Amino acid sequence: MASDDPLKKHARIRSAETLLIVLGDQLDLDAPTLRELDRERDAVLMMEVREEAEHVPSHKQRTVLFLSAMRHFAAELVERGYRVRYVKLDDAANTQSFASEVRRAASTLSPKRIMMLRPGEHRVVETFEEFAEEWCAEAEDRDFEVKEDDHFFTTIDEFAEWASGRKSMIMEFFYREQRKKLGYLMDSDGKPRGGKWNFDKQNREVFKRAPRPKKPYQPRPDDITREVMELVERTWPDGYGKLEGFGWPVKRAEALRALDDFIESRLPRFGAYEDAMWTEQPFLYHSLLSSSLNLKLISPRECVEKALDALDRGVATLNNVEGFVRQLIGWREYIRGVYFTEGPDYPMRNGLGDEGRLPDFYWNAETDMRCLSECLGAVVDHAYSHHIPRLMVIGNFALIAGVEPRQVHEWFLAMYVDAVEWATAPNVVGMSQHADRRPDAAPGETGVVGTKPYASSGKYIKRMSNFCDNCRYDVNKRTGEDACPFNALYWDFLIRHRETFRKNNRMAMILKNVDRMNEDTRAEITVAGKRLRERFGIVGGAGSSP
Ligand code: SF4
Q: Please, what's the b/e burial string for 444-466 (b: 16 or more CB within 10 A of its CB; e: otherwise)?
A: ebbbbbbbebebbbbebbbebbb
Quote the pLDDT of residue 141: 92
Round to whole Å and give the CA distance between 13 and 123. 30
For the cut 90, the answer to whether the pLDDT of residue 471 exceeds it is yes
342 phi/psi in degrees, rounded to 5? -75, -25
The string of pLDDT tens digits covering residues 382-410 is: 999 999 999 999 999 999 999 999 999 99
Strand partners, 20: 44, 115
- Provide the pLDDT for residue 3: 60
Strand partners, 146: 116
Over residues 22-35, mean pLDDT: 97
pLDDT band (50, 70, 90) for residue 201: confident
pLDDT average, residue stretch 185-205 = 94
Nearest to 34 by CA among 111, 116, 89: 116
pLDDT of amino acid 540 = 59
Asked if the model's pLDDT at residue 441 lies above 90, the reply is no
Q: How far apart are CA 94 and CA 288, in angstroms?
A: 33
Residue 542: pLDDT band with limits 50, 70, 90: low
Tell me what pLDDT residue 2 has: 45
Of the pLDDT bands very low, low, confident and very high (cuts 50, 70, 90), residue 312 is: very high
For residues 100 and 216, give the distance between their C-alpha atoms in angstroms, rounded to a whole number. Answer: 41
How many whole angstroms from 534 Cα to the centroid of ligand 1? 19
Q: What is the 392 CA–ligand 1 centroid distance (Å)? A: 12
Beta bridge partners of 87: 47
pLDDT at 494 over 70: yes
CB atoms within 10 A of CB 373: 19
121-131 confidence digits (pLDDT tens): 999 999 999 99
Closest atom, ligand 1, to C-alpha of 487: 2
Share of the chain above pLDDT 90, in %: 90
Q: Which of 7-16, 100-109, 206-215, 494-503 has the lowest mean pLDDT?
A: 7-16
Q: Label residue 442 by pLDDT band (50, 70, 90).
A: confident
Q: How confident is the model at residue 1 (pLDDT cuts 50, 70, 90)?
A: very low
Ligand 1 pocket test, pick from 468, 481, 487 with the greatest ligand atom count within 8 Å of Cβ, gives: 468
Q: What is the pLDDT of residue 8?
A: 87
Pocket of ligand 1 (CB under 6 A): 369-371, 458, 461-462, 467-468, 471, 473, 475, 484-486
543: confidence class by pLDDT, cuts 50, 70, 90: low
CA–centroid distance, residue 465 to ligand 1 (Å) = 10
Testing ligand 1's pocket by substitution, the residue of 279, 474, 486 carrying the most ligand atoms inside 8 A of its CB is 486
pLDDT tier, 545 (very low <50, low <70, confident <90, very high otherwise): very low
Q: Assess whether pLDDT exceeds 60 at residue 541.
A: no
Nearest Cα to Cα of residue 435 among 412, 419, 460: 412
Report the nearest-CA residue for atom 7 of ligand 1.
Answer: 369
Of 456, 466, 471, the residue with max ligand 1 atoms within 8 A of its CB, to mutate for a pocket test, comes to 471
Rounded to an integer, the average pLDDT of 356-371 is: 97
Task: For ligand 1, atom 5, name the residue with the nearest CA.
Answer: 475
Helices (H), 217-289: 223-235, 252-265, 267-270
pLDDT of res. 4: 79
Atom of ligand 1 nearest to the CA of 475: 5
